[in-house]
């Protein structure tokens, strides 16, 4: 995949260009439906699939107090777009000045730089100054600028509308399995493995302590997870996300106990894929009571993964 970050430096692209525009926070099942349409049409026509997005999120620039906690890191977003098979990802640097560009000016700029033949968006996507642009506006310029435009309605899964906002609500409430269904994959927390205090090892359950880079932190508790260390297969694990109240600590961390493999992880960047919420974080009366609870969590995680293939390519 080609990553572009400057509208004024677009290399020649094979025609026809088929593109989509959006913020794509979380790259959930609704987003992926649009991206797959773009990819399939580009392949059918022998052209180039292009995803146009903005960095940072426009609300972080225009209305920081209203900006959402992002579901994924930028590197996760890029990796998933590439994994899906998109050929070009264009991240437009979003500034206050760019936020003043009128909807018409934005469309004409895209047409001049990218010459798209087909444009696909979500039907709730808005663009341009004061969010004045929508699918109707986009279509109104199509004949003049040489493209067609189509919008996808909201996707529903199990009767629930798929949206980044709904996924955030599920994550913050600890409803991980519901969030996973809307995402279409496990939730991912990414970071560097740091040295801890060794308490997990003394309890018989050594852990990798992950510094958290994500903005959005799910509800504190114990989760069934798998760890991505860059190998073809993920490693099954159980994780505690929280502040370790049994030992009176206050910093939010992710402590991951691998059920198998792993090797030396200190200093490495890893990803922790969250599948299921097991129980809230709680303060135990003694280290022994905590050890017994962890043993039960580990067995639950083993049972969960018994019939779950963990090939990395399946989860991006």
Residues 252-262 pLDDT 10s: 889 999 998 76
Residue 205: predicted pLDDT: 77
Are 2-157 and 186-315 the same fold in CATH?
A: no
pLDDT at residue 80, as a whole number? 95
Angle, CA of 152, 157 and 160, to the nearest 5°: 95
Task: Report domain 2-157's class.
Answer: alpha beta
Give Cβ neighbours of residue 306 (< 8 Å, ≥ 6 apart).
none
Percent of the chain scoring above 70 in pLDDT:
95
- Given phi > 0 = left and psi -120 to 50 = alpha, else beta, which region is 294? alpha
The whole-number pLDDT of residue 74 equals 96
DSSP assignments along 71-132, one per residue: SS-HHHHHHHHHHHT-SEEEEEEP-TTGGGS-HHHHHHHHHHHH-EEEEEEETT--BSGGG-
pLDDT tens figures, 62-101: 999 999 999 999 999 999 999 999 999 999 999 999 999 9
Going from N- to C-terminal start, the domains of the chain cover: 2-157, 186-315
Q: Residue 244's pLDDT is what?
A: 67
User: Could you read off the pLDDT of 7-49 as tens digits, one per residue?
Assistant: 999 999 999 999 999 999 999 999 999 999 999 999 999 999 9
299/223 Cα distance (integer angstroms) = 12
| pLDDT digit string, tens, across residues 186-232 | 999 999 998 766 555 565 578 889 989 999 999 999 999 999 998 89
Mean pLDDT of the 253-281 span: 90
Res 19: pLDDT:
98
User: Domain 186-315, what fold?
Assistant: Elongation Factor Tu (Ef-tu); domain 3 (2.40.30)
This prediction has a pTM of 0.92
Mean pLDDT over 280-304 rounds to 90
The residues, any chain, with a CB within 8 Å of residue 211's CB and separated by 6 or more, are: 191, 192, 193, 194, 253
């Amino acid at each position: 995949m080609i990553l572009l970050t400057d509208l004024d430096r677009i290399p020649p692209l094979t025609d026809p260009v088929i593109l989509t525009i959006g913020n794509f926070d979380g790259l959930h099942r609704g987003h992926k439906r649009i991206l797959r349409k773009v990819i399939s049409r580009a392949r059918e026509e022998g052209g180039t699939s292009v995803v146009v997005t903005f960095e940072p999120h426009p609300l972080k620039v225009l209305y920081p107090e209203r900006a959402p906690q992002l579901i994924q890191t930028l590197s996760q977003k890029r990796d998933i777009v590439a994994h899906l098979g998109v050929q070009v990802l264009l991240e437009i640097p979003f500034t206050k000045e760019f936020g003043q560009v009128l909807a018409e000016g934005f469309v004409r700029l895209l047409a001049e730089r990218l010459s798209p033949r087909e444009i696909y968006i979500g039907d709730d996507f808005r663009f341009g100054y004061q969010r004045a642009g929508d699918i109707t506006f986009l279509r109104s310029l199509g004949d003049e600028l040489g493209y067609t435009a189509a919008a996808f309605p909201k996707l529903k899964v199990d009767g629930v509308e798929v949206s980044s906002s709904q996924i955030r609500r599920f994550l913050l409430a600890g409803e991980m399995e519901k969030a996973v269904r809307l995402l279409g994959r496990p939730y991912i927390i990414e970071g560097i493995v740091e040295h801890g205090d060794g308490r997990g090892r003394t309890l018989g359950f050594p852990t990798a302590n992950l510094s958290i880079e994500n903005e959005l932190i799910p509800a504190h508790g114990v989760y069934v997870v798998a760890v991505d260390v860059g190998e073809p297969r993920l490693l099954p694990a159980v994780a505690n996300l929280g502040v370790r109240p049994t030992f009176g600590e206050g910093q939010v961390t992710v402590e991951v106990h691998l059920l198998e493999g792993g090797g030396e992880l200190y200093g490495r960047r890893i990803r922790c894929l969250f599948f299921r919420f097991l129980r809230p974080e709680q303060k135990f009366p003694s280290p022994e009571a905590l050890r017994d609870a962890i043993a039960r969590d580990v067995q639950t995680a083993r049972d969960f993964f018994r019939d779950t293939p963990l090939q990395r390519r399946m989860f991006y």
